[in-house]
Amino acid sequence: MKRSIRTLNILPRWIIVIIDLVVYLLSALVGYLLRLNFNLDSLYEYNFLRGIVIFTLAGLISSLATRSFAGIIRYTGIQDTLRVFYASLITLLIALGINTISENAIPYSIAAIAFFVSVVVLTSYRLVVKELFAFYRTIPQVSKKVIIFGAGQSGMITKELLDNDTSTNVKVVGFLEDNPRKIGNVLGGVRIYSARNDFQKVMIKNNPSELIIATTSMSLDRKNELVDQCLEFGIKISTVPNVDKWTGGEFGIDQIHEVRIEDLLGRNPISLKNKYVNQELSGKSVLVTGAAGSIGSELARQIIRYNPSKLILLDQSESGLFEIENEIRGLKSLGETLVCYVADVTNSKRVRRMFSQYRPEFVFHAAAYKHVPMMEINVPEAIECNLMGTRNLADLSVEYDVKKFVMISTDKAVNPTSVMGATKRAAEIYVQSLNNLLSEIEADRPTLFITTRFGNVLGSNGSVIPIFQRQIQRGGPITVTHPEITRYFMTISEACSLVLEAGVMGNGGEIFVFDMGKSIKIVELAKRMIQLSGLKEGKEIDIVFTGLRPGEKLYEELLNDMENTMSTHHPKIMIVKVKPLDFTKVKSHYSDLEDLVYSTPSNGDDMDMKMVKVLKSLIHEYRSRESKFSMLDR
């Protein structure tokens, strides 16, 4: 019955007409009974049946005339009540008119009593039906049971949201807690169980379909342990965002989201003291290259919070710039503070015009080609963008008195095995040797060059996780290059916070690296993503090994054998100590590469091989792997 009432939208009009006629009939009968003091013998003396028929027929005529049946009862309001009143009044007048023509058809007193009774009953039953609709449509039909991990403030707010949101049809059947002081108590009418001792018992007894993690104090290892337990029982796992990410400072039910693989990777977040970043960037003109990319766009989002006088976003992708501009302008009113500059970093004339017009004081250089296999077969583009583009920006930064130039590098620059990694290492060498040259000649307020080096960022364009997600959506298979391949991971937000922190703490010439935690096997990552998708490996989706791609490493490194580290004020951020190279020698290698990149090849010339040979002469630790350039290492 509940289901039929909940799904019934509008009560049919013919039913309303019949009910109204029954009300008029009963109102007339009540009128006779009240007038005769419930003396049933007197009813026949007054010919009550004739009077009831007259009043009922008068009610039918008035209902049709006033269309009192036309209102939607579940939305009954003042206008509907007035329409009922007018219909009853017309019914009274018709009855009285008939009584005038045919004496004692229905006595005046009885007609008056029937009028008042009909007004009250017709109005009342409409309001009752309206409330019944409202009541039955708000009764939660429990379609799933939920367990909440965390009996703190976030857990209680989550329960209240679920209880009050009738569209979710959810019942919270229990809390789980690691805190022994809370276990055994009751919160919001729901018992708190031990997450470690009672987990299996609670799952078997209540058979929940979802567990919501509603605590911010859980370590990454504990979260992974809990997720593994849930996956064993086939339970969906969701999580509540941290308080600082609540929309407008408030938490809504739409912010509860399924646990993503990104939530389970890497390590516990590293907190950085951004007050120093604010002191440096506030009121300054800041340039971000590669601003349409994953790292560059996140840098833009973070930098704008520090209220720079000018934020210049440079990229050759007009569509990407358009999107990040719309996003940032949607955050706050910026006016002319935000500038989007479409340019290729290798176009020296175009980039010079930008430096001359906007005079950036800080440069964050994120523009680069980053995909290893792609650059292994497009060597000139890798060299032109990653080397010549960096040199172009670095030289212009010196010419236009930029305060700090922060270059974003990669762990693939360490003991490079690919063209991409080698070009990033060559770019590191150029800016570091240029910084040392400026320091030696004691230039007046020289530009300080700083490098940041980190591993893979979660969710970046072309990274492994989005690729796996698309493969899972297609039904597989998931392709992994090698069963032993591992990678370090960090979030884009953390990577960009590191870049900003390095820009503040750097004194020039440093290469900053992060403590990246433990490296992760890519095949284990694929298996975990399959589990989180509710699928079974080998049955519903397969993992296929395709072999290492050209230039690809099995293991990434943050330091090479000739490098060591020095601590900083932050225990998770270190400075790499490397042997500097003479700028004259570096410049000579760059000139050789430039001649090769921009020369017209003769027939039979393998220009790629010649370019890589120059790179290897500059970077002695560069050893190609799974590549045609391996022959140069013999």
* E strand residue ranges, 263-309: 285-289
pLDDT at 205 over 50: yes
For the purposes of burial, counting CB atoms within 10 Å of the CB of 454, is it exposed (0-12), middle (13-18) or buried (19 or more)?
A: buried
Q: What confidence tier does 4 reach under pLDDT thresholds 50, 70, 90?
A: very low
Q: What confidence tier does 273 reach under pLDDT thresholds 50, 70, 90?
A: low
Q: What confidence tier does 142 reach under pLDDT thresholds 50, 70, 90?
A: low
- The CA–CA distances, whole Å, from 476 to 69, 143, 469 equal 59, 31, 9
Contact between 56 and 25 (Cβ < 8 Å): yes
Contact between 255 and 240 (Cβ < 8 Å): yes
pLDDT at 123 over 80: no
pLDDT in tens, 521-567: 888 888 888 877 777 787 888 899 988 888 887 877 665 555 556 66
pLDDT in tens, 143-175: 678 898 988 888 888 888 887 766 667 788 889
Return the SS3 of 62.
helix
Q: Which residue has the tokens 């009862």?
A: 73
Which CATH number is 144-259 given?
A: 3.40.50.720
Contact between 518 and 267 (Cβ < 8 Å): yes
Tokens of 477: 């298979």
Average pLDDT, the chain: 81
Residues of the chain with CATH 3.40.50.720: 144-259, 281-456+490-515+563-597+607-618
> Which CATH number is correct for 281-456+490-515+563-597+607-618, 3.40.50.300, 3.40.50.720, 3.20.20.10, 3.40.50.2300?
3.40.50.720
- The CA–CA distances, whole Å, from 101 to 95, 106, 113, 374, 446 equal 10, 11, 20, 101, 113
**The pLDDT of residue 349:** 95
